[in-house]
């Protein structure tokens, strides 16, 4: 099974109150799962990475043959592709955990305009508004 994952992070103040959200779909664009998580005080980039990590953990449970990630953060996409170095220690630790989580899976990271990532963005903001921790 091939999965499509849209994820987004939000931080109000950057750093500030932060949350992340994700949507997991099949190739027919049927939503299989969506989720969000309040992260407390964090930067936008930490929230973006946490969104991908949380989505990856959930997607992996569905035993996919492939996961295609779609993010509106060009920085995270380029770092995951190895085009940019990760210089921030906090981001490097989350990226390492993400790489471990995705080990052995066929994955791709794709940059999309913010307009194509509205549901994940809405979920990230909902996590902050409602302080969703689980």
| Alpha-carbon 53 to chain mean position | 6
pLDDT (average), residues 86-115: 98
Q: Are 35 and 22 in contact (CB under 8 A)?
A: yes
User: Which residue in this structure is represented by tokens 């091939």?
Assistant: 2
Q: Are 128 and 90 in contact (CB under 8 A)?
A: no
51-73 confidence digits (pLDDT tens): 999 999 999 999 999 999 999 99
Structure tokens at 114: 């913010």
The predicted pLDDT at position 81 comes to 97
Which domain, by its residues, includes 114?
A: 2-130
B/e letters for 70-86, b = 16+ CB within 10 Å, e = fewer, are bbbbebbbebbeeeeeb
22-49 confidence digits (pLDDT tens): 999 999 999 999 999 999 999 999 999 9
Domain count along the chain: 1
70-95 confidence digits (pLDDT tens): 999 999 999 999 999 999 999 999 99
Q: CA Rg, the chain, in Å?
A: 13
Strand ranges (DSSP E) for 13-129? 16-25, 31-42, 66-71, 106-111
Is the predicted pLDDT of residue 10 greater than 90, yes or no? Answer: yes
Give me the CATH number covering residue 37: 3.30.420.10
The predicted pLDDT at position 123 comes to 99
């Amino acid at each position: 099974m091939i999965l499509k994952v849209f994820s987004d992070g939000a931080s109000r103040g950057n750093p500030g109150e932060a949350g992340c959200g994700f949507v997991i779909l099949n190739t027919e664009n049927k939503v299989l799962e969506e989720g969000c998580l309040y992260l407390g005080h964090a930067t936008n980039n930490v929230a973006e990475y946490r969104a991908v990590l949380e989505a990856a953990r959930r997607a992996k449970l569905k035993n996919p043959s492939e996961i295609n990630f779609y993010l509106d953060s060009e920085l995270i996409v380029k770092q995951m592709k190895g085009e940019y170095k990760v210089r921030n220690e906090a981001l490097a630790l989350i990226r390492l955990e993400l790489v471990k989580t995705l080990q052995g899976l066929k994955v791709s990271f794709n940059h999309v305009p913010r307009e194509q990532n509205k549901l994940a963005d809405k979920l990230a903001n909902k996590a902050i508004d409602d302080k969703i921790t689980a």
